[in-house]
Amino acid sequence: MKLINRYLSQEIISSIMLIMIALLAMFSFFDLIQELENVGKGTYGISKVMLFVLLSIPGHVYEVVPVAVLVGTMYALSQLARHSELIILRVSGISLASLTFSLLRIGLIFALVTFIVGELVTPYSEKTAQRLRIQATDSVVAQDFRSGLWVKDGNSFVNVEDVLPDASLLNIHIYEFDPEFHLRTISTAKSGRFEDQQWSLKEVSQINFEHEKVVSNFFPEARWQSLIRPELLNVLLVVPEKMSAWNLYSYIHHLSANKQKTSRHEVALWAKMVYPIACLVMVVLALPFGFVQQRSGGASAKIFSGIMLGISYQVLNRVFVHLGLLNDWSALLSAVVPTLIYLIAGLMMLFWVERS
At 149-192, the pLDDT tens digits run 787 877 888 888 877 766 788 889 999 988 888 889 999 999 99
Angle at 6 between CA 286 and CA 17, to 5 degrees: 55
225-245: per-residue pLDDT in tens?
Answer: 887 777 666 666 677 777 888
More confident residue, 292 or 4: 4
308 has pLDDT over 80: yes
Task: Report CA dihedral (108, 114, 118, 122) to the nearest 10 degrees.
Answer: 150
317-347: per-residue pLDDT in tens?
Answer: 888 888 888 888 888 888 899 999 999 988 8
C-alpha 219/C-alpha 204 separation (Å) is: 5
Average pLDDT of 182-210?
90
Burial of 328 (0-12, 13-18, 19+ CB in 10 A): exposed
Average pLDDT of 109-114?
94
Give the pLDDT confidence score for residue 295 in this predicted structure. 47
Give the pLDDT confidence score for residue 145 in this predicted structure. 57
Spell out where 178-325 has E strands: 183-195, 198-210, 213-224
Query: Which residue ranges make up each domain of the chain?
Result: 2-137+265-355, 149-227
Task: Please give the DSSP secondary-structure letter assigned to residue 156.
Answer: E
What's the alpha-carbon Rg for the chain, to the nearest Å? Answer: 26
16-58: per-residue pLDDT in tens?
Answer: 999 999 999 999 999 999 988 888 887 888 999 999 999 999 9
Give the pLDDT confidence score for residue 235 in this predicted structure. 62
111 has pLDDT over 80: yes
Spatial CA neighbour of 334 closest among 253, 270, 245, 255: 270
243-292: per-residue pLDDT in tens?
Answer: 888 888 888 887 787 777 888 888 888 988 999 999 999 998 888 877 76
C-alpha 343/C-alpha 288 separation (Å) is: 12
